[in-house]
Amino acid sequence: MLNVDLHCHSSVSDGLLSPAGVAARACANGVDVWALTDHDEVGGIAAARAAASDCGMRHVAGVEISVTWAGETLHIVGLNIDETNPALVQGLIATRSGRQRRAEQIGVLLAQEGIPGAYEGALRYVGNPDLISRTHFARYLVEAGVCQNTHDVFKRYLVEGKPGYVVHRWASLSDTLSWIHGAGGIAVIAHPGRYSLTLLQMSVFLDEFKQQGGCGIEVVTGSHTPDQYAEYAKVAQQYGFLASRGSDFHAPGESSVDLGALPPLPANLTPVWHDWF
Ligand code: AMP
Ligand code: MN
Ligand code: MN
Ligand code: MN
């Protein structure tokens, strides 16, 4: 079986390893085809491509774009993109632009909860100042002894309804799809099992995504349970979507699934990589 991992992060967004470090780990884990998909940023791709080539691994240019749809934050992965495409590059700059202000607001809210200095603390974990993320706050709050691990920080402070959560408007679905398609890429719904959409909302979303030319969905991801592999395999078949596989690896010891370590895609699906080589 070809070991394909098309979703993971480096220190260019909220991962802990450099793009070359992620590549080396993917290689060591036996990954054959690899995409680095940093959040809202393509700045790690050149280094990723070079490092993948050094260790004989096929590289696919990728990105994970933050989208606001019906008030929910959803993630769309773009694969096989031309990362130099001007409209994509501009779109990502615009998508990133609100992160600093949101982070300052998170800092204020956490201070009100009795956790001072969280913004400054989070900044120390940031590789790319444009890309300050809730993950950086989570790492700082663990360091500060507020929580045992980053998952607890999210649960107690950083998800909707919790005291450090700041509502934020990301890119629209239609802009995101037009950036990805304009850059020659394939749009893939990231970790659909993670969203708190109702069944009706999910079906409206899937229809809209398909109507606008979206054609891929993650079936096997580090965010899904085995039951969800089966559930989204069915969705892929119903909608005629290409199926993707990706660990969503962020950091050793922090991510539940390592690079290349997921089970294969269920049978009877067309993989998103079916016509790439
Ligand atoms: P942001 O784009 O700044 O809102 O941060 C989103 C990132 O936070 C995701 O890409 C994950 O890496 C991380 N994340 C979100 N929810 C959780 C969670 N419940 N536990 C751990 N990490 C999470
Ligand atoms: Mn992340
Ligand atoms: Mn995601
Ligand atoms: Mn991700």
pLDDT at 186: 98
> Which atom of ligand 1 is the closest one to the Cα of 150?
21
Q: What is the pLDDT of residues 52-77, one digit of tens each?
A: 999 999 999 999 999 999 999 999 99
Domains of the chain listed by start with CATH number: 4-96+172-246 (3.20.20.140), 99-158 (1.10.150.650)
Q: Which ligand is nearest to the CA of 36?
A: 4
Q: What is the pLDDT of residues 125-171, one digit of tens each?
A: 998 888 999 999 999 999 999 999 999 999 999 999 999 999 999 99
Can you tell me the mean pLDDT for 77-105? Answer: 98
Instruction: Enumerate residues lining ligand 1, CB below 6 A.
Output: 14, 39, 66, 133-135, 150-151, 154, 250
> What residue's CA is closest to ligand 1, atom 9?
135
Q: Which ligand is nearest to the CA of 138?
A: 1
Can you tell me the mean pLDDT for 258-269? Answer: 98
Q: What is the pTM of this model?
A: 0.98
- Banded pLDDT at 107 (limits 50, 70, 90): very high
> What residue's CA is closest to ligand 1, atom 22?
151
Helix/strand/coil (H/E/C) assignment for every residue in the chain:
CCCEECCECCCCCCCCCCHHHHHHHHHHCCCCEECCCCECCCCCHHHHHHHHHHCCCEECCEEEEEEEECCEEEEEEEECCCCCCHHHHHHHHHHHCCHHHHHHHHHHHHHHCCCCCHHHHHHCCCCCHHHCCHHHHHHHHHHCCCCCCHHHHHHHHHCCCCCCCCCCCCECHHHHHHHHHHCCCEEEECCHHHCCCCHHHHHHHHHHHHHCCCCEEEEEECCCCHHHHHHHHHHHHHHCCEEEEECCECCCCCCCCCCCCCCCCCCCCCECCCCCC
> Which atom of ligand 1 is the closest one to the Cα of 75?
10
> What residue's CA is closest to ligand 1, atom 6?
134
Alpha carbon of 250 to ligand 2 centroid (Å): 7
- The rounded mean pLDDT for the chain is 98
Can you tell me the mean pLDDT for 78-98? Answer: 98
pLDDT at 129: 84
* % of the chain residues with pLDDT over 90: 98
Alpha carbon of 19 to ligand 2 centroid (Å): 14
* % of the chain residues with pLDDT over 70: 100
pLDDT at 35: 99
Out of 135, 155, 248, mutate this one to test ligand 1's pocket (max ligand atoms within 8 Å of CB): namely 135
